[in-house]
């Protein structure tokens, strides 16, 4: 009787355990020597470049669709130049209002149709269509029309002469009009795009399982360069950074684009992986709310900046993968003024500046006061970013050491953003990622009433405003550099931000991958030339 | 007859309850600061471009107008379009539902089988050493966070022993394999996440069922059965187990929502493309149409689940059948 129960129990358990081990012991059978595997955090949003909004989608689609020209990562020496791609040459006519592109005549879509001027004209129509609603349509604001002269010549007509005409004309990937032109723009948002994809880039889509894998294969009819050496590239979607790292270190990926500094240290210790370490186009800062009475005085803001030990932040939070930041233009940009030095760490000078601004500890409680008001500040940042939280803690500790009652505070991203917009903060730790063309207006120009800008601290300096307006009309690079230098010196003198650090972009690449060129334009800059020997 | 009327009455209440849940969810989602346009991580998105996107997705409209717009579309069977996934919400859910049903269904089966087994073993000699060990183990497992268990399982079975894959539903390159190999591959990928969910569930199932078995064993009809000389195993299987299944059946019925709602933690850790993960991504990205769509599916499942639980309970225990 009891034996029956035990027998049944035992039998069921055995079946279960047996099933587990049986299936478990079958080893993976596929040979992946021709497949490059990349780990990413999120899926592609759309196979249509004008409906996708994330950077990853754009980077991936740039491997499939051609563009007129390719922006070169040479912004260190001068404004970025462009290399020919679909266009072999371009010419700004005498009045500077007509930009004519000569197209290559030998390019074909992977269904065999030629790439022509019709595709360029159609692309512009899609870019500016209200039904499509492309977020980047603002780059086409000064283009009145795009006209086909012949099958391989197009002209962009501008409404005004300005510095970034080529950049704006080139913005966006060229679409296959012979297929996509049959789908009305009003239906674009309800179309499943994968079956309609034809490309002229080095890769074409092979498969896509949402939230799992994206598979691209080499495009045999690619003619802009040598066909891709790797047959298949698989993007494996892992939505969790910790799992992504675990699998990277377990040898499942050949490439991962986003490493935190502490992860880079672990990758460095792995003999099968290498860390790619390139300057990041971003700077982390504390934005001070200049409308707060305590923070209105530039001497106070300078003192706060001098009280914060950047080197500690670099050594601990960034594990050395960062450098002190000096001003509003990245030190890697051509327009950066080399004479600018990062604010030194000098708590004694900070205290002196605060006392000259009228702040002193009159009641002996350890906190500075002025007119009976104590110096209390809240340092705000978003909870999703642990590095910024750590920066908040370190900065608050340094500030308390000179008698400023600073409290770190973290809120969820949406709340963070709405508090920034409403000016509901004292200081906020945040990061700007900068485009390759310099645009100081959005952050540094006085914000007009009821206009949304990124000048959250309500910084306002009429001289800076005037210079920002002036430089927009200047075409001579030396003069531009001179004016940008003046702007940088004015802003650094005012210290509306405490410029903290410029970080590094850290990627992991397998030692079995050869021939990869890494820069900050896209992680897949020359993916077609990568090799798996 | 009585059962049918109760059933109809409860089904009639369903749309009303779902509408109530939807309205409350909409209010909560709307109250959260930030919009989809603010969450996009792309340095090229200027403030003007974000404003443009808000208008494109109707996010510049007032909350009330957005709500009635959504409700109007819902009345025509349209769940709207996802901001994040660039697809109709119905398609997003249709893609995410099968993996979740597969994972949660397997986990539920493990949960019940393992739970019943453990309870039977425990209840054979309550207070014995086997029972004590199982009690400690099941309470321990039940108390552990599933992300920790999952991490431990990955560390042991994937990284150290290399037996099982650590994530996804298929291996890289599985699309080039034969159907049989692909099926086996799927099973291998299913084992870890389903076991984590199943074992945690089994721990609680076993506790409930053990208590319930012991309760029944103390009742008079078992004593009477023993007196009639019925074999111990027959008493256990026929006279004890069925009445003791009542609370278990309720538990199973109530886990129907998990079957379609998925588990955010396990699906995210194991890169399983199910409902829990979709819902979480949508919530973080303020993708209101998807959050609403998932909530609707979840609400219907909760209501149907409790209905099923009641029906099953009535089957297991004649005393609660409506007269």
Q: Could B34 and A209 be called an inter-chain contact, meaning their C-beta atoms sit closer than 8 Å?
A: no
Instruction: Give the ipTM.
Output: 0.84
Are the Cβ atoms of B86 and A189 closer than 8 angstroms? yes
Predicted confidence (pLDDT) at residue A193 exceeds the cutoff of 90:
yes
The three-class DSSP label of residue A93 is: coil
**Closest residue on chain A to B53 (Cα):** A135
Q: Which residues from A are below 8 Å from B236, CB to CB?
A: 5
Q: Residue written as tokens 């501008």?
A: A158
Q: Going by C-beta distance under 8 Å and a sequence separation of 6 or more, which residues neighbour residue A71?
A: A80, A81, A82, A167, A170, A436, A521
User: Which of B39, B110, B167 minimises the CB distance to A247?
Assistant: B167
Instruction: Look at residue B2 and tell me whether its pLDDT is greater than 70.
Output: no
Cβ <8 Å between A2 and B233: yes
Q: Give residues 282 to 321 of B whose Cβ lies within 8 Å of A.
A: 286
Contact check, Cβ <8 Å, A30/B163: no
Question: Comparing A367-371, B151-155, B245-249, which segment has the lowest mean pLDDT?
Answer: B245-249
| Contacts (Cβ under 8 Å, ≥6 apart) of B10 | B303, B307
What integer is the mean pLDDT of B182-207? 90
Q: Is B4 on the interface with A (CB under 8 A)?
A: no
Closest residue in B to A281 (Cα–Cα) = B43
What residues have CB less than 8 Å from B209, skipping those under 6 apart?
B115, B116, B119, B123, B244, B245, B247, B248
pTM of the model: 0.86
The verdict on A186 touching B (C-beta cutoff 8 Å) is no
C-alpha to C-alpha distance for A45 and A63, rounded to whole angstroms: 15
* CA neighbor of A480 nearest in space, from A490, A470, A493: A470
**CB pairs A-B closer than 8 Å:** 173
Distance from CA of A368 to the nearest CA of B (A): 35
Contact B271 A239 (CB under 8 A): yes
Q: Tell me the percentage of chain B whose pLDDT exceeds 70.
A: 97
pLDDT band at A399 (very low <50, low <70, confident <90, very high): very high
Q: Chain B: give the shortest CA distance to residue A214, in Å.
A: 10
Contact B175 A435 (CB under 8 A): no
CB contact under 8 A, B46 and A138: yes
Which residues on A lie below 8 Å from B286 (Cβ)?
Answer: 414
| pLDDT at residue A307 greater than cutoff 70 | yes
Q: What is the CA radius of gyration of chain A?
A: 28
Using CB atoms, pick whichever of B172, B188, B236 lies closest to residue A26. B188
Chain A residues touching B56 at Cβ < 8 A: 133
Which chain A residues are Cβ-neighbours of B163 within 8 angstroms? 24-25
A318 burial level (CB within 10 Å; 0-12, 13-18, 19+): buried
Could A5 and B96 be called an inter-chain contact, meaning their C-beta atoms sit closer than 8 Å? no
Cα–Cα dist A313/A410, whole Å:
18
Mean pLDDT to the nearest integer, A230-257: 93
Which of B172, B182, B189 best probes binding to A when mutated, by most A CB atoms within 10 angstroms?
A: B172
If you average pLDDT over residues B2-14, what whole number do you get?
Answer: 77
B-interface mutation test, from A36, A205, A213, A253, most B Cβ less than 10 A away = A213
Q: What is the structure's pLDDT at B1?
A: 47
Q: Please, what is the average pLDDT of chain B?
A: 85
DSSP per-residue letters across A284-349 = EEEEE-TTSGGG-SHHHHHHHHHHS-HHHHHHHTSTT-EEE--SSS-TTSTT--TT--PPP--HHH
CA distance A197 to A57: 14
Query: Is the model's pLDDT at A10 over the cut of 90?
Result: no
Closest CA to A6 of B242, B238, B108, B125: B125
Residue for token pair 């940042």: A381
Q: Which residues of B touch A245 (CB under 8 A)?
A: none
Contact A266, A245 (CB under 8 A): yes
CA-to-CA distance for B174 and A413, rounded, in angstroms? 38
Closest CA to B270 of B201, B193, B172, B199: B193
pLDDT at A1: 40
Which residue of B lies nearest to A436 if distances are taken between CA atoms? B44
> pLDDT at position A3, please?
46
User: What confidence score (pLDDT) does residue A7 get?
Assistant: 53
Highest mean pLDDT among A149-158, B140-149, B218-227, B289-298: A149-158
In terms of Cβ atoms closer than 10 Å to its own Cβ (0-12, 13-18, 19+), residue A415 is middle
For residues A137 and B244, which has the higher predicted lDDT (pLDDT)? A137
Q: With H, G, I as helix, E, B as strand and everything else as coil, classify residue B124.
A: helix
């Amino acid at each position: 009787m009891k034996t029956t129960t035990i027998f049944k129990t035992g039998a069921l358990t055995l079946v279960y355990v047996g099933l587990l081990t049986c299936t478990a012991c079958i080893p993976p059978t596929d040979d992946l020597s021709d497949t490059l595997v990349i780990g990413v955090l999120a899926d592609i949003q759309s196979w249509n470049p004008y409906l996708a909004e994330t950077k990853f989608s754009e980077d991936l689609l740039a491997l499939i669709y051609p563009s007129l020209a390719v922006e070169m990562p040479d912004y260190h020496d001068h404004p970025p130049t462009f290399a020919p791609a679909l266009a072999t040459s371009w010419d700004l006519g005498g009045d500077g209002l007509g930009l004519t592109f000569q197209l290559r005549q030998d390019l074909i879509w992977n269904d065999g149709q030629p790439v022509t001027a019709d595709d360029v004209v159609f692309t512009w129509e899609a870019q500016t269509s209200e039904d499509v609603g492309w977020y980047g349509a603002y780059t086409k604001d000064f283009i009145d029309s795009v006209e086909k002269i012949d099958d391989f010549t197009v002209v962009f007509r501008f409404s005004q002469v300005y510095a970034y005409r080529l950049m704006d004309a080139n913005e966006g990937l060229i679409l296959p009009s012979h297929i996509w032109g049959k789908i009305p723009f009003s239906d674009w948002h309800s179309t499943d795009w994968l079956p309609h994809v034809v490309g002229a880039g080095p890769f074409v889509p092979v498969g896509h399982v949402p939230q799992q894998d994206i598979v691209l294969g080499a495009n045999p009819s690619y003619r802009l360069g040598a066909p891709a050496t790797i047959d298949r590239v698989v993007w494996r979607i892992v939505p969790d950074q910790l799992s992504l790292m675990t699998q990277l270190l377990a040898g499942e990926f050949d490439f991962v684009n986003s490493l935190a500094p502490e992860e880079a240290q672990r990758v460095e210790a792995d003999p099968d992986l290498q860390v790619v370490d390139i300057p990041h186009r971003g700077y982390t800062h504390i934005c001070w709310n200049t409308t707060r009475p305590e923070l209105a005085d530039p001497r106070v803001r300078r003192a706060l900046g001098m009280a914060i030990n950047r080197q500690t932040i670099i050594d601990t939070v960034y594990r050395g993968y960062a450098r002190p930041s000096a001003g509003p233009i990245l030190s890697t940009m051509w327009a950066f003024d080399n004479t600018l030095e990062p604010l030194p760490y000098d708590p004694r000078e900070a205290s002196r500046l605060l006392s000259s601004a009228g702040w002193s500890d009159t009641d002996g409680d350890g906190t500075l006061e002025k007119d009976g008001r104590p110096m209390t500040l809240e340092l705000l940042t978003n909870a999703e970013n642990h590095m910024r939280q750590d920066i908040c803690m370190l900065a608050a500790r340094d500030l308390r050491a000179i008698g400023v009652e600073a409290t770190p505070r973290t809120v969820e991203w949406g709340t963070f953003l709405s508090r920034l917009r409403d000016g509901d903060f004292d200081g906020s730790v945040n990061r700007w990622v900068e485009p390759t063309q310099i645009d100081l207006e959005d952050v540094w120009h006085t914000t007009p009433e009821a206009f949304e800008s990124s000048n959250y601290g309500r910084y306002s300096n009429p001289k800076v405003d005037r210079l920002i307006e002036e430089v927009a009309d200047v075409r001579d690079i030396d003069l531009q550099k001179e004016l940008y230098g003046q702007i940088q010196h004015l802003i650094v003198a005012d210290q509306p931000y405490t410029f903290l650090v410029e970080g590094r972009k850290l990627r992991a690449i397998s030692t079995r991958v050869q021939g990869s060129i890494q820069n900050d334009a896209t992680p897949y800059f020359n993916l077609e030339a990568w090799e798996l020997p | 007859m009585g059962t049918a009327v109760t059933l109809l009455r409860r089904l009639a209440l369903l749309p009303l309850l779902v509408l109530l849940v939807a309205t409350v969810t909409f209010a909560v989602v709307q109250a959260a600061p930030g919009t989809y346009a603010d969450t996009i991580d792309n340095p090229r998105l200027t403030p003007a471009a974000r404003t443009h996107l808000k208008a494109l997705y109707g996010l510049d409209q007032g909350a009330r107008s957005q709500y009635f717009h959504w409700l109007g579309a819902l009345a025509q069977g349209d769940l709207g379009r996802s901001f994040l996934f660039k697809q109709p919400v119905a398609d997003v859910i249709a893609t995410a539902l099968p993996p979740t049903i597969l994972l949660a269904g397997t986990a539920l089966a493990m949960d019940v089988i393992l739970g019943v087994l453990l309870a039977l073993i425990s209840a054979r000699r309550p207070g014995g050493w086997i029972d004590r060990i199982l009690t400690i183990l099941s309470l321990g497992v039940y108390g552990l966070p599933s992300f920790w268990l999952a991490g431990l399982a990955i560390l042991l079975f994937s990284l150290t022993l290399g037996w099982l894959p650590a994530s996804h539903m298929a291996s890289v390159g599985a699309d080039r394999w034969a159907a049989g190999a692909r099926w086996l591959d799927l099973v291998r990928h299913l084992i870890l996440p389903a076991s984590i969910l199943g074992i945690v569930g089994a721990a609680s199932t076993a506790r409930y069922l053990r208590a319930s078995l012991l309760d029944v064993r103390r009742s008079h009809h078992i004593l009477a059965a023993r007196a009639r000389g019925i074999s111990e195993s027959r008493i256990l299987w026929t006279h004890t187990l069925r009445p003791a299944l009542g609370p278990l059946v309720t538990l199973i019925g109530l886990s129907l929502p998990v079957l379609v709602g998925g588990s955010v933690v396990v699906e995210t850790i194991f890169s399983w493309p199910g409902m829990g993960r979709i819902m979480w991504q949508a919530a973080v990205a303020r993708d209101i149409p998807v959050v609403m769509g998932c909530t609707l599916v979840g609400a219907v499942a909760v209501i149907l689940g409790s209905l099923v639980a009641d029906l099953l309970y009535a089957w297991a225990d004649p005393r609660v059948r409506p007269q």
